[in-house]
Structure 1
Amino acid sequence: MNVGVPRTVKAVDTSELIRLDAEAIECGLNRNHGVGWLLEFADSTAVHYLWPVLVHRLRHRPEFSPHWRCMLLLTVRDGQQVLSLLDVLPASFEGLPETLDGATKTDIVLRLEHGGLLTQAQWSAVNP
């Protein structure tokens, strides 16, 4: 079955992002932030943005394949936005509401692709 990623961006609050991250950890997906990282470092009042960019498969976890590797525009506790990645199950992504207009989605994609953002790892290195 050839499954492609949806061509959309979805907004999530911090509690939903933490739930998606916990799901990725529980399912053994490669891209997650580790237990407790988002709770400690994500801005609890912010809206974050997920953009699926590729289909990812795990041979050792076929029950969770395929899933979508998403670029994440993440706002951290100091208010800075950083680039991160999160693997998300298709049903979980599809269950998120569509709340953004086309111009906002385009702006977010441009920031993720060309915004010169620090990565989550780079930000973590200077913000222990």
Structure 2
Amino acid sequence: MLSGVPRTVKAIDTAELIRLDAEAIAYGFNRNHGAGWLAEHAALEAVHYLRPVVVHRAGRRPEFSPHWRCMLLLTMRDGQEVFSLLDVWPGSFDRLPETLDSATERAIAYRLDYGGLPTCAQWASLNT
């Protein structure tokens, strides 16, 4: 689905999140967390949630365009949940398993949209 983003939320573990972040860095996507940052700060045993929201086009890297800008509900090592963004290649997102029921997806999407979560940058400014 390249004309729009999928209307879903996917749960991922920290290892998969780090892999997707490394892929975003390798592809030159704008929204990533920087090498090693998630391994240092994300809760290792947590489940995180990705929700695609925008089709993003990267003019300087047409071979990786379009891709999806995803909202990310990220759990930090101190247990706090934060909002972040991550650019994800559509094929990589599609390979993630669908594990959430529709009620859980709606609840996560609502928290991302209206939950008043601190941003990843706000958390980092207070905790690093």
Partner of 1:100 in structure 2?
Answer: 100
Give the letter for the 1:109 counterpart. A
Partner of 1:118 in structure 2?
Answer: 118
Aligned residue runs from structure 1 range 68-87, under 5 A: 68-87=68-87
Partner of 1:44 in structure 2?
Answer: 44
Partner of 1:30 in structure 2?
Answer: 30
User: Per-residue displacement from partner, 1:23-78 (whole Å, max 9, x unpaired)?
Assistant: 00000000000000000000000000000000000111000000000000000000
TM-score (norm 2): 0.98
Separation in structure 2 between the aligned mates of residue 111 and residue 120 of structure 1, nearest angstrom: 15
Partner of 1:17 in structure 2?
Answer: 17
**How many Å apart are 1:112 and its aligned residue?**
0.3
How many residues in Structure 1 have an aligned counterpart in Structure 2? 128
Gap runs ≥5 in structure 2: none
Gap runs ≥5 in structure 1: none
Q: Percent of aligned positions with the same letter in both sequences?
A: 70
